Structure 1
Amino acid sequence: MKLYQGMGPNSYRVRIFMAEKGIELPMVDIDFSKAEHRAPAFLALNSLGQIPVLELDDGTIITESVAICRYLEETHREPQLFGTDAVGRAKVEMWNRRAELVIFGTIGNVALHSDAFFKDRLTQFPAFAETERQAVPKKWSWVDRELADGRPYLAGDAFSIADITAGVCAWLGDVFGMAVPEDLANVQRWLKRVRARPSFQA
């Protein structure tokens, strides 16, 4: 297998997932500043020109970070990061989707509509970016209320891909000047716990 990856939250998410499972793969770095994601050879792998991309030994291509993680979960069973039973898997899925849609989406909109890196990819609306920026603390405040029951991780007692996704959201927020508010004690407790894991240095 081979992983095409580079700078950015989705590649980071897969690298953390791999580190949690002790998986090592050959990696091909894709440099967006050199437009390597638009090269014909790469577009043949992913027509959307996005990373990460997992290429299996038989030539099968899997794109989208969560899809890649699901494949790695099936082929490397321990530790289980998508839940261990029906309820656990549903809760992990629920929280992973919440992290993606509520937090990642909001922070991503700020980046997409304000950073010069994306100016040639879409029509930017700076006012929308500012509205989304102001909403970020409210999103984390909601998570803080959800974690008020004292559970150690988003989906319950076990670390999961939902924590990876939300932890990467916090990292992305730092990159774009939207750190998790210091006064959110429950989120800060959770974030300190996940950031202490060696995998977050991946």
Structure 2
Amino acid sequence: MKLYTADGIPNPRIVDIAMYEKDLNLERVIVDFLEGENRASSFLVKNPAGQIPVLELDDGTIISEVTAIIEYFEEVCPDPFLVGTIAKERAEARMWARRVDLAVMEPMSMAFKYGIGKNYFEKRITVYPEAAESMKNKAQDGLVWLDNVLAGKQFLCGDRMTYGDIMLYCYTDYFKKTGQKVESGLVHLTHVLDSIAERPSVQKTA
């Protein structure tokens, strides 16, 4: 299998960490997104959305989207699990991943694309600079909310790390460099993020 990916940005890093957690041996093919390689016709054949990461199976099947790739990893290599072993666990993991996506990941991304990343992204998507600050504030509200719900918990799903935790870590770790940091007073959230940062799978992608 081949994993078309990139270093240093959140979505590819999420999948890389999941790959290392499961000790999967995949060929990593680096895509130069800054030079627009992911928008080239040769890549769009694989993923018409022009996004990375992309997983190419041995039979040529293409799987894109972070969650879909992680779900595939879970099916072919369930141990250690990042989704769950029974229906209740899987539903809980998907619930928290979606909450993280809506409360933190989407507004952080929009704040960046509409704000300091505008000059790069306006060539690729429609940007709304007037919305940048409100998206940044929405993401901060999401972090405060997560801090409250994480009180007394090791991870989003209690004592088991799931892919939602990886998503949360990768986005907060990346966007702190763009002025969207986790405030020091969010002690419960900081504790969870610090524990994730210590994992070998995460350190391999640092």
Quickly name the TM-score band, shorter chain normalised. Answer: over 0.9
2-structure distance, mates of 1:178, 1:39: 31
> CA offsets, 1:158-186, max 9 Å, x none?
01101111111211321321111100111
Counterpart in the other structure of 2:139 = 136
Counterpart in the other structure of 1:95 = 96
Count of residue correspondences: 201
2-structure distance, mates of 1:95, 1:172: 20
SS of the residue corresponding to residue 27 of structure 1 reads: strand
Alignment of 1:76-95 (within 5 A): 76-95=77-96
Counterpart in the other structure of 1:165 = 167
Counterpart in the other structure of 2:71 = 70
Alignment of 1:17-32 (within 5 A): 17-32=18-33
Higher helix share: 1
Question: Does the 8 Å contact 2:113/2:127 carry over to 1?
Answer: yes
* Residue 187, structure 1, aligned to residue 189, structure 2: yes
Question: Once the two structures are aligned, what percentage of the paired residues are identical?
Answer: 38
Spell out structure 1 runs of 4+ moving beyond 3 A: none
Question: Does the 8 Å contact 1:16/1:200 carry over to 2?
Answer: yes
Equivalent in 157, 166, 178 of residue 155 of structure 1 = 157
CA RMSD of aligned residues (A): 1.1
1-structure distance, mates of 2:164, 2:137: 24
Q: Show structure 2 runs of 5+ residues with no match.
A: none
TM-score, reference length from structure 2? 0.94
Alignment of 1:6-45 (within 5 A): 6-7=6-7, 8-45=9-46
Q: Which amino acid aligns with 2:143?
A: W
2-structure distance, mates of 1:38, 1:89: 34
TM-score, reference length from structure 1? 0.95
Q: Which amino acid aligns with 1:26?
A: E
Q: Which amino acid aligns with 1:75?
A: V
Question: Does the 8 Å contact 1:173/1:180 carry over to 2?
Answer: no
